[in-house]
A = this chain, B = another copy of it.
Amino acid sequence: MPPEGLFAGVFARGRTAAEVDDRAWLQAMLDFEAALARAGARAGLVPDEKAETIAAACRAELFDVLELGREAGGAGNPVVPLLRALRAQLPDDAAAHVHRGATSQDVLDTALMLVARRALEPLLDDAEAAAAASARLVDAHRDSILAGRTLLQQALPLTFALKASQWLVGIDEAREQLTAVANSVLAVQLGGAVGTLAALEDRGLDVAAELARELELGAPPLPWHAVRVRPAMLAGALAVLAGALGKVARDVTLLAQGEVGEASEGGNAGRGGSSTMPHKRNPVAAVSAVACAQRVPGLVATIHSAMVQEHERAAGAWQAEWETFSELLRLVGAEAAWAREMLEALEVDPERMRSNLEAAGDLVMAEAVATALAAQLGRGPAHELVEGAARRAGGEGKSLREVLEELPETAEHLGADGLDAALAPEAYLGAASELVERALAAHRKTLDHQEKR
């Protein structure tokens, strides 16, 4: 699990990667052992000073992560060699109290939860910043009109504020859900070999509760070693954020096409250079965010598949989660970082939006004209009239205006001014501005939530 590596600039972007690397896992495992010793002490099972001696040794820098990794093959997980190494650092009378009442899975499951909690901080920070940048775009572009596009075809006009509102709502809903899921699922795991806490005599539940308090994780009603609802819910929430951000990035790659040119990535000089084409400025952030998004669903499918676990500890499915979760957090973290960079520096070109809309011709306004005529003609006849005109315009290479101007119904029911009005994109934006305000209001509410947390 590389915080760094040959592709780190792309897929370990931002601050999340450092929270899911080997050192982070190792420290989280040690945090479990330290907290378990202290919880044991509070429950009267471990002498206080032994607990503190143990806790003092639970620092990642005292251990050789690569050595542990190599030895992980022996027992099928790195806990066994870690315990050996930890005990070797301690006087015998403290060593005897290490890992009291726990099993390997307790260590790794709780470590996963700690790693996730720590990784979600920068990840959600970046997602929030991406949302905030979207909100600024919304705010700044209430009057920037562009062509809406369906099936990649120009359709009716909308404002860029509304387009960015969609981005905003998507990111906000996804990060709110991720926050809510994290609050509900992040919890310690302590069950001992088969989930009975038998090795802790009659203090098992107390130790588990103390452990949760010590690590600031939830205290679940039952150990969840073979019931993977918690990791699976987390994975699903990450997938949703990945998709929401990916949608924004996808739009940016499309808007940045030379033939469209309605947005481009600003940002630091030197970004987006090509190895062969000096003239290009590639939308590197958007492309990288899409690449991250594309890798997420397959990993989430692995986590979902892995829920079907055998008895009290799975023979393969549980183990399949470890690296997969690191990857998931790293990739969604990188995607959030890219999305933030992309949106914070996005350069929007309202003139180009307008000129693209005009170049699309006034056929996109056919629905508006039909609506305007419907008042007098009735909806059916109005529609038929305009549909016919649109067909003729298309066929004869004329504008819709030209065709309409030749029709007696236009003169009679709309007049020249009415036709102008019906063909003006500004006048056919529906509820765009109200929707924009709703999105901004909802966004402010997510920030309030956050503060209250």
Contacts and interface: CB of A to CB of B under 8 A. Distances in A.
Interface string A212-241: 000000000111101111001101110110
Q: Which of A149, A247, A312, A386 has the most CB of B within 10 A?
A: A312
Nearest to A294: B320
A227 B198 contact: no
A43 interface: no
A274 interface: yes
Contacts of A10: 72-73, 76-77, 319
A254 B196 contact: no
Interface residues of A, number: 191
A415 interface: no
B247 A228 contact: yes
Contact of A5 (B22, B288, B293): B22
A173 to B, nearest CB: 5
A259 interface: yes
B74 A284 contact: yes
B439 A371 contact: no
B5 A169 contact: no
Contacts of A100: 379
Q: Which of A104, A157, A200, A308 has the most CB of B within 10 A?
A: A308
Q: Which of A275, A290, A361, A434 has the most CB of B within 10 A?
A: A275
Interface string A236-262: 110110111011011101101111100
Interface in A292-318: 292-302, 304-318
A451 to B, nearest CB: 20
A341 B266 CA distance: 41
Contacts of A308: 243, 246-247, 249-250, 290, 293-294
B200 A430 contact: yes
B310 A254 contact: yes
Contacts of A8: 66, 69-70, 72-73
Nearest to A26: B6
A4 interface: yes
Given A5-B65, A76-B288, A197-B431, 12 more contacts: A8-B66, A10-B319, A76-B282, A149-B312, A153-B257, A155-B313, A165-B222, A169-B224, A177-B233, A251-B310, A254-B311, A292-B320
